[in-house]
Structure 1
């Protein structure tokens, strides 16, 4: 039965405040209808199919689900395409069909609701919409290595425009996880190990999505998933409140301030309390302290996982709801909300709060306003922009005058990733149309017609005779180029967990990175290191290009190769831009967004870990040989001695350093001047080196440029927000290595 027209006027009136519109609707809804708005049970790819004639049609399960309670809160992954869903270009939703399918689904959802409430269409977009024809951009770790947040904003706006054109409203975007353990397979979804740098990129990502009306960002994962024990996916974070506040919360706080409409509560626990049941996290911090008025979504099946602690489905639902979770994701537990109320585990006020938050997001995104047609799918991105995005995060780690390559050099292209275009893309990627992504072999072949190519080994295993063939190819070349690292590429015959994470089998899996692909050792696999040793032993100048989704230990390559270029998964344009760098046509301006440790035994390696009593093992140093911020360009630089703005400041944000930067080389270039800080406060163990600001500076040969870098307010939480004591500050062009001499600035108050 439809509501009276007069009863709908308040919540349909776009001139009224959001709270009034929500209250006008909430007061007329039944308990079942409210519970329906918290539901996101059906995976979207299961609720549609094609007729024999190839037309899209809705499956009966959608009508059954919508009619059961009188509506649906959200639908996840309607257009998701990947190996887990089984959708590809033969049967998946093409860009031109997306809006049509969304409209078919919404028509049924709206018809089931007395008040005509549409469902939120929720799509994965960690680095581009995970749908056929979606623009794949570099993974967050690659974007973070650019140190250019404006690129993340542009990439996010592109993804949001594609989502909106396909009838979607919510982009699930990565960025809240800090890269504290490179063994974790999802390291590629992190912007940085630095809370400050990650916060800048999260803020930019949210603003980019907000640039497109009708689309909102839900940030994942909240919180501390990057602190999991042993780098194992979903494992607990055994950290205290100071570590949580200073390291893992700043990116989320920045995203909330920037206007995210939601956050996703993570799988993991923090000190034994699962995030989806952590009221201190989801209510006290997120809502009370930060003033967040959006909604909290659980990660897939995370609420059901509470049953491993002995909770019944009704108890699991009530624990999550009272903690602050407003919407589930495919959980069955939220089907027991009404039962939980009847049993006194929660009450109608709890239900009203959650439902009101979900409805508030729907109002803000325009779902309850008169419908307007979806915009046209945007044309393909500009090729120059795509290449700039793909190349901005590439980091030159070492170069003994081997680069740039000469145009007529005979190249032997070796290594297991040289001929694999899919290895450039990362996790959470839909199948690409023919010709969208190229391999490094394709890109090199355009410049070197006589290119010799041999894999030498597989990603983790030797190939029979592979090294001998690679050595023979190198012996006939002027330069050997090794393409090493890892990949998140999945196969359609692979096995998956219920949430889509990989289940490695004996031989089916190629992936060594991504969700479900954690590694015990961060050094490159032995097969790849054996190949590198054999090739460099020939005496032929060897350049290593390392493509990966995590910080690998690359000390062996840096010591033995003439040059090493590293890139997190750069996307479809990656092969072309990496070759442009190797030939000197593009400057490598990226700098490491996360430290590269020597080996797993020397973890943790982040630059802002707390100062330790001992800094070495009997058999190894504990530091990272390639720290946060490291990287080279095509020219040389000198930085003068830094001086403070003032010797005594009222607040930490008044502090900073200035110096003169001079380009001492023969080429123009771009340098990244980084400001690091250490808060020396009595009674508190300081962090070793906290990134507090940075400046990108361009200079012509011989040019001197003044540089002034202040402590950014976003860096205060990682510093422990010092109110008094001393700030030790220093400027660096080589990363976070702590110099012996540092400028000391007293902070009063």
Structure 2
């Protein structure tokens, strides 16, 4: 009897405890009910805290005793921090999460965020290079691996993908995007969001962040943090589509841009954040500032002071404040003054809390902070294999005179490998390598020695780390080359000049490297240029002195293996450019989807009084969509299902693609459209579809494309969709320049 009474008492106590448990801590309750319960319990200061993101650092060991770190810990205990960036690793994130959930009043878990741009520990090609693969499935897979490694390190949120369209290789951040085309940029944006996020229902995916909203890729002069001044027609048709694709793919967050649009900083731009993102697109996630961008509205001349900056950011619809602390400092005061309403604040905080519940952090705040899983997940052989596949497909063959490539790896070939960057692992990587390590990567020299084990490979620096050279270095390189059958020269830019705050007025091959190539050319040996860079460079100066140009970008962990795969022909290069390569710096910006002028330059005849340069061609050195292979492809018999098309009735396009060479390989067949007359002038070509096709030697395939109303649509300056009848051209080919064409009309 006594045991029964004790048991009854224990059960009653357990029931009492459950009854006293706040609803927001009940894992079985609906998320919305839990959020509503929590919001009722929060003070204005705690709500402001959820919209406050701070730069973290180290919170374990001696570093945790730093006064700055102690202040952040104290703010976390007070519920004044909702998220940290730059706190990484299962141990570090667990330590700080413990403060939030066990030492604060309400125990609201933190979000940990980080810039994971092209991999976390296993580093993939930079996004611009990866986009040159045109392999959307691989792009999504790469993002999923980056997410898996980041999540295993305790992260919940990554600041990618960058969806900015840019025509300007002077801007260092072109490396983060997918190039110059809004359609292709949209396809890639959606793939990256899907790869990063999955369904956000496990500990292997993270929240994505579409950035930089909006039009940051159009900064004047290609200068970082500079002004943007574009028409609303350009905004809607060229710059907004990739952001929209990322939002449609389910991106949890969107990041403000640093720039102004229509004279208003993006962080306080109601048209961008409220009218477009929330109302027109129905975005349900939350908006985060870029680093200190709320506070920088003061410097722009838009906000009078920090309090005014907080008000204008929140009034526009922006939500989480990265590092400027204006929201946590002034939101309670703005509420008291009636400048913002509690409903607005609750709506903003609700969005942040939703994802904390969605990720399961209220029920298991440490689910992402598992040291054993971190060790087992990061930098695995399987991940490196995918990084190698991605790097193989990202390389673009721009020139291959007399078929100097590929080089038979089985033969005993004397190879001179020249160029400091070929051996320097530190220069193989850019600013955004997350927690990757240069020493873990495979250099070009290492990859070549492994692949060409039967060959005699000799190495010479040729130039200094900054790209300059001198007589002694060049003489030594020439002496090395004289004993070789083929000379491979790695030139370009160090990866340290790629990324944020790395704008260049002259993105070209250095004078020292050009002098080196001239001297090597004089030996009469076949010269292969490997060009490493985080952007398209002006290659005109080196064209006469090299037999082949292999654009190797910044390829990540598996750089050396991928370069050797392509040079040997074990991988037949298939990459296609996603930015036009300028003929000269003065030609920038140069891009394929430009508009006709009233005086376009004709192919022949009288060239006077036309829109042209007197000293260089109008056309880029290499056009958008261009890339060679070790085989050849022929396009023929372009056919349309009809010469006219009715709205709602798709038009079928067919073309024969034949591998006319001796090697199997991939070709990226591209379809472009031009509307000849419209109420708003349309580009001379606009990419609307592509297919990446693998063909054996001699194999022929009939490729089918479908043109729908959406492919013929365009936006006006307010984002209204127009589909107008009239004459159209359709183009199909292997790049934006070399195409077949047919005419049709939309009735």
Which of the five TM-score ranges fits, normalised by the shorter chain? 0.7 to 0.9
The match for 1:463 among 466, 470, 477 is 470
CA deviation vs aligned residue, 1:338-372 (integer Å, no higher than 9, x gap): 23333443332332221122112222222223456
Could you say which residue in structure 2 is the equivalent of 1:744? 743
SS in 1 for 2:658: strand
SS in 1 for 2:536: coil
8 Å contact from structure 1 (residues 51, 57) kept in 2:
no
**Structure 1's 394 and 715: CA in aligned 2 closer, same or farther, altered over 3 A?**
farther
SS in 1 for 2:663: coil
SS in 1 for 2:670: strand
Could you say which residue in structure 2 is the equivalent of 1:408? 412
CA deviation vs aligned residue, 1:34-67 (integer Å, no higher than 9, x gap): 11110112x2115x14249x99999522331124
1:653 to partner: Cα distance: 8.5
Residue 273, structure 1, aligned to residue 264, structure 2: yes
What is the TM-score with the length of structure 2 in the denominator?
0.88
SS in 2 for 1:640: strand
Could you say which residue in structure 1 is the equivalent of 2:360? 366
How do 1:31-46 residues align onto structure 2 when only pairs under 5 Å count?
31-41=44-54, 43-46=55-58
Residue 260, structure 1, aligned to residue 261, structure 2: no
**Structure 1's 14 and 616: CA in aligned 2 closer, same or farther, altered over 3 A?**
farther
Residue 178, structure 1, aligned to residue 185, structure 2: no
Q: Report the Cα distance in structure 2 between the residues aligned to 1:529 and 1:480, rounded to whole angstroms.
A: 15
Could you say which residue in structure 2 is the equivalent of 1:532? 517
The match for 1:436 among 430, 433, 440 is 440
Q: Report the Cα distance in structure 2 between the residues aligned to 1:293 and 1:603, rounded to whole angstroms.
A: 38
Could you say which residue in structure 1 is the equivalent of 2:424? 420
8 Å contact from structure 1 (residues 315, 340) kept in 2:
no
How do 1:17-166 residues align onto structure 2 when only pairs under 5 Å count?
17-41=30-54, 43-46=55-58, 48-51=59-62, 59-68=69-78, 70-79=79-88, 98-129=89-120, 134-166=121-153
8 Å contact from structure 2 (residues 236, 715) kept in 1:
no
Q: Report the Cα distance in structure 1 between the residues aligned to 2:676 and 2:32, rounded to whole angstroms.
A: 45
Could you say which residue in structure 2 is the equivalent of 1:238? 229
Could you say which residue in structure 2 is the equivalent of 1:87? none
Could you say which residue in structure 2 is the equivalent of 1:322? 315
8 Å contact from structure 2 (residues 48, 80) kept in 1:
no
The match for 2:187 among 196, 200, 220 is 200
The match for 1:512 among 497, 506, 511 is 497
**Structure 1's 351 and 551: CA in aligned 2 closer, same or farther, altered over 3 A?**
same
Of 559-568 and 109-118, the range deviating more from structure 2: 109-118
8 Å contact from structure 1 (residues 71, 113) kept in 2:
no
Could you say which residue in structure 2 is the equivalent of 1:251? 242
SS in 1 for 2:160: strand
Q: Report the Cα distance in structure 1 between the residues aligned to 2:387 and 2:678, rounded to whole angstroms.
A: 49
**Structure 1's 672 and 727: CA in aligned 2 closer, same or farther, altered over 3 A?**
farther
Q: Report the Cα distance in structure 2 between the residues aligned to 1:268 and 1:458, rounded to whole angstroms.
A: 33
SS in 2 for 1:174: coil
Q: Report the Cα distance in structure 1 between the residues aligned to 2:711 and 2:494, rounded to whole angstroms.
A: 33
SS in 2 for 1:550: coil
CA deviation vs aligned residue, 1:79-124 (integer Å, no higher than 9, x gap): 2xxxxxxxxxxxxxxxxxx223222211111234433210111121
CA deviation vs aligned residue, 1:577-612 (integer Å, no higher than 9, x gap): 111211111110111111111122112211112223
1:711 to partner: Cα distance: 4.1
The match for 1:597 among 563, 566, 582 is 582
**Structure 1's 738 and 442: CA in aligned 2 closer, same or farther, altered over 3 A?**
closer
**Structure 1's 727 and 384: CA in aligned 2 closer, same or farther, altered over 3 A?**
farther
Q: Report the Cα distance in structure 2 between the residues aligned to 1:236 and 1:623, rounded to whole angstroms.
A: 27
Q: Report the Cα distance in structure 2 between the residues aligned to 1:38 and 1:424, rounded to whole angstroms.
A: 37
Of 227-236 and 108-117, the range deviating more from structure 2: 108-117
CA deviation vs aligned residue, 1:266-294 (integer Å, no higher than 9, x gap): 11112321110111101111111111100
**Structure 1's 14 and 708: CA in aligned 2 closer, same or farther, altered over 3 A?**
farther
SS in 2 for 1:249: helix
8 Å contact from structure 2 (residues 664, 697) kept in 1:
yes
8 Å contact from structure 1 (residues 657, 731) kept in 2:
no
Of 198-207 and 333-342, the range deviating more from structure 2: 333-342
Q: Report the Cα distance in structure 1 between the residues aligned to 2:270 and 2:712, rounded to whole angstroms.
A: 25
Aligned residue pairs, count:
696
**Structure 1's 734 and 704: CA in aligned 2 closer, same or farther, altered over 3 A?**
closer
SS in 1 for 2:178: coil
CA deviation vs aligned residue, 1:685-743 (integer Å, no higher than 9, x gap): 2212211110111222221111112348886677875511346344444311175x632
Of 192-201 and 376-385, the range deviating more from structure 2: 376-385
Q: Report the Cα distance in structure 2 between the residues aligned to 1:122 and 1:344, rounded to whole angstroms.
A: 32
1:555 to partner: Cα distance: 2.9
CA deviation vs aligned residue, 1:638-685 (integer Å, no higher than 9, x gap): 111311233333348924521111111122221111001112333322
How do 1:468-507 residues align onto structure 2 when only pairs under 5 Å count?
468-488=475-495
SS in 2 for 1:62: helix
Q: Report the Cα distance in structure 1 between the residues aligned to 2:468 and 2:709, rounded to whole angstroms.
A: 48
Q: Report the Cα distance in structure 2 between the residues aligned to 1:547 and 1:341, rounded to whole angstroms.
A: 53
Q: Report the Cα distance in structure 1 between the residues aligned to 2:687 and 2:210, rounded to whole angstroms.
A: 23
Residue 619, structure 1, aligned to residue 626, structure 2: no
Q: Report the Cα distance in structure 2 between the residues aligned to 1:24 and 1:653, rounded to whole angstroms.
A: 51
Q: Report the Cα distance in structure 2 between the residues aligned to 1:650 and 1:20, rounded to whole angstroms.
A: 49
Could you say which residue in structure 1 is the equivalent of 2:341? 347
8 Å contact from structure 2 (residues 660, 698) kept in 1:
yes
**Structure 1's 718 and 428: CA in aligned 2 closer, same or farther, altered over 3 A?**
farther
Residue 734, structure 1, aligned to residue 727, structure 2: no
**Structure 1's 325 and 667: CA in aligned 2 closer, same or farther, altered over 3 A?**
same
1:550 to partner: Cα distance: 0.5
8 Å contact from structure 1 (residues 121, 167) kept in 2:
yes
What is the TM-score with the length of structure 1 in the denominator?
0.88
Could you say which residue in structure 2 is the equivalent of 1:723? 723
User: Where does the alignment leave 5 or more consecutive residues of structure 2 unmatched?
Assistant: 1-16, 601-610
Q: Report the Cα distance in structure 1 between the residues aligned to 2:648 and 2:415, rounded to whole angstroms.
A: 52
CA deviation vs aligned residue, 1:295-316 (integer Å, no higher than 9, x gap): 0000001111111115210000
SS in 2 for 1:45: coil
How do 1:634-673 residues align onto structure 2 when only pairs under 5 Å count?
634-651=630-647, 654-673=650-669
Q: Report the Cα distance in structure 1 between the residues aligned to 2:710 and 2:94, rounded to whole angstroms.
A: 41
Could you say which residue in structure 1 is the equivalent of 2:569? 584
8 Å contact from structure 1 (residues 175, 198) kept in 2:
no
SS in 1 for 2:394: coil
How do 1:699-714 residues align onto structure 2 when only pairs under 5 Å count?
699-711=695-707
Residue 294, structure 1, aligned to residue 279, structure 2: no
Of 177-186 and 404-413, the range deviating more from structure 2: 404-413
**Structure 1's 353 and 395: CA in aligned 2 closer, same or farther, altered over 3 A?**
same
**Structure 1's 58 and 345: CA in aligned 2 closer, same or farther, altered over 3 A?**
closer
CA deviation vs aligned residue, 1:362-391 (integer Å, no higher than 9, x gap): 222222234564461315042432211111
Higher share of residues assigned helix: 2
SS in 1 for 2:591: coil
1:138 to partner: Cα distance: 1.1
